[in-house]
Amino acid sequence: MLSRPLRHPLWMPAPMHPLDSPQLITLDAVGTLFGLQESVGTVYGRFAAEVGVQVDPAALDVAFFKAFRAAPPCAFPELEASQRPEAEWRWWQGVAVETFRRTGVLDQFADFEAFFAPVFAYYATAEPWCLYEDVLPALQDWQAQNIPLMVVSNFDSRLYGVLEALGLAPFFQAVWISSEVGAAKPDRLIFERAVASYGASQVWHIGDSWEEDVRGAQGAGLQAIWLRRDRPLLPEPAINESVAVPQIADLTEVQVILRGTA
């Protein structure tokens, strides 16, 4: 499980002004509330071996991130609600197909859909995910302060079950996912929909992605807080050092910021 000791928040090298107290806090899901027990490449490789396809997990990791970044947003604004589960499945299957194509073994699968079905189902359970140690203390603190909480994520409808399985669902008033909203972070629409549903004017958004969470939240007029967990597979983003953004190493550090707004 990834965690870091509590310490004072880190700040971008630019002047910071005191933050207004939040009327609502929205949070990213994967990489913020919970992470992977094993890399995607390790899981894909294990499931592939069960159907007789041998492939290096490290190569799958590299291929997956390239395929994931090259895919269009997991958002389906033109579809009816009944059509979204199939669209989500097809979207993720497309990423998986491209992952194995990039590693040169796609043609070794006799039936790729049959292979992918249990992989997709696996990520709808609690088993592949680890709840970060700082999450429950932070959520409990915010709940005790009567700060409403929502999730804003580029995940799909499997997220509802994962939040339930990890014991997180009771903390959130609403969950906003890209496949249902029809827009994916950093598109401002997904943030605006979440905020409009509650009617708050002072909103903090916390997430681990510079582009999706920080830049996306800023574009929607929210106060962004950048959660910088140790995620070695992800490259450092090209950031604008002149943009003042609070940085934290874990969610409990938000309490330091909150005390500063009291």
Say whether both 135 and 80 belong to one domain: no
Domain count, the chain: 2
Residue 35 pLDDT > 70: yes
The enclosing domain of 82 has a CATH number of 1.10.150.720
Say whether both 211 and 112 belong to one domain: no
pLDDT tens digits, one per residue of 3-31? 333 333 443 433 345 678 899 999 999 99
The enclosing domain of 192 has a CATH number of 3.40.50.1000
Alpha carbon distance 98, 64 (integer Å): 8
Say whether both 16 and 98 belong to one domain: no
pLDDT tens digits, one per residue of 147-182? 999 999 999 999 999 999 999 999 999 999 999 999
The domain boundary, picked from 95, 122, 149, lies at 122
Domain containing 90: what range? 40-122
The domain boundary, picked from 94, 122, 150, lies at 122
Q: What phi and psi values does residue 130 have, to the nearest 5 degrees? A: -120, 130
Q: According to the model, what pLDDT value does residue 257 have?
A: 84
Residue 121 pLDDT > 70: yes
Q: According to the model, what pLDDT value does residue 255 have?
A: 85
Q: What percent of the chain has pLDDT over 70?
A: 87
Say whether both 85 and 136 belong to one domain: no
Does the residue 1 lie in any domain? no
Does the residue 161 lie in any domain? yes
The DSSP secondary structure of 170-223, one letter per residue, reads: GG-SEEEEHHHHT--TTSHHHHHHHHHHHT-SSEEEEES-IIIIIIHHHHTT-E
Report yes or no on whether pTM surpasses 0.85. Answer: yes
pLDDT tens digits, one per residue of 206-219? 999 999 999 999 99
Decide if 68 contacts 95 (C-beta within 8 A).
yes
Say whether both 96 and 205 belong to one domain: no
